[in-house]
């Protein structure tokens, strides 16, 4: 049976990204996102946040770093990786998502700017697939494909829905 390690998440950055370089000169961009989930607890809806650490390698990390700011909504596609180490005699581990595709979705939290600013798609460790709308990106947001969500989590549909 084939093994699958594939993750797709949409969430908001919990802090600005950090760009560092390895001793070999490879760029490493790290950031964290929160993915909210609503569930019903008795008669009330409760929001739960799950937090995920993301790693974006190479030129993609360098290019997107300036746009990866706290509150920014992003879509991340990648794979899970478990890092293991020992600290003070204790075995430690941490799971990160190694991004293969990062798309910038909306503006900062609550800004309602909508639209995608750019995306990166490629294998981790390689990074020449970044594009931006300002640089003639072929990526276009289709305004009617998905409604914008307001702060309550309800879709913001236009008044003239045809059905």
34 with 49: CB under 8 angstroms?
Answer: yes
Q: What is the pTM of this model?
A: 0.64
Return the CATH architecture of domain 7-155.
Beta Barrel (2.40)
Determine how β-strand 73-87 pairs with β-strand 90-104: antiparallel
- The confidence score (pLDDT) of residue 159 equals 55
The share of the chain scoring above pLDDT 90, in percent, equals: 59
Q: In Å, what is the CA distance from 96 to each residue of 23, 55, 66, 79, 108?
A: 21, 7, 21, 8, 23
What are the domain boundaries of the chain? 7-155
Q: Are 28 and 20 in contact (CB under 8 A)?
A: yes
What is the pLDDT confidence band of residue 115, given thresholds at 50, 70 and 90? very low
What are the backbone dihedrals phi and psi of residue 59, each rounded to the nearest 5 degrees, phi first? -65, -30
**pLDDT surpasses 80 at 129:** no
**According to the model, what pLDDT value does residue 100 have?**
93
Q: How confident is the model at residue 149 (pLDDT cuts 50, 70, 90)?
A: very low
149 versus 41: which is more confidently predicted? 41
Q: Which pLDDT band holds residue 96 (cuts at 50, 70, 90)?
A: very high
Backbone torsions φ then ψ of 134, nearest 5 degrees? -70, -20
């Amino acid at each position: 049976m084939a093994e699958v390690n594939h993750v797709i998440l949409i969430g908001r950055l919990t802090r600005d990204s950090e760009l560092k370089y390895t001793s070999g000169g490879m760029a490493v961009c790290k950031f964290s996102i929160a993915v909210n989930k609503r569930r019903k607890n008795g008669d009330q809806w409760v929001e739960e946040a799950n937090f995920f650490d993301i790693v974006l390698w190479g030129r993609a990390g360098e290019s997107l770093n300036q746009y990866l700011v706290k509150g920014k909504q992003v879509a991340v596609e990648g794979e899970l990786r478990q890092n293991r180490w020992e600290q003070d005699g204790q075995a430690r581990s941490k799971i990160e998502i190694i991004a293969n595709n990062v798309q910038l979705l909306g503006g900062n939290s609550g800004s309602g700017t909508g639209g995608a600013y750019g995306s990166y798609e490629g294998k981790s460790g390689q990074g020449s697939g970044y594009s931006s709308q300002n640089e003639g990106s072929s990526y276009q947001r289709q305004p009617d494909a998905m409604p914008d969500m307001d702060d309550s989590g309800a879709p913001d549909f236009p008044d003239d829905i045809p059905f």
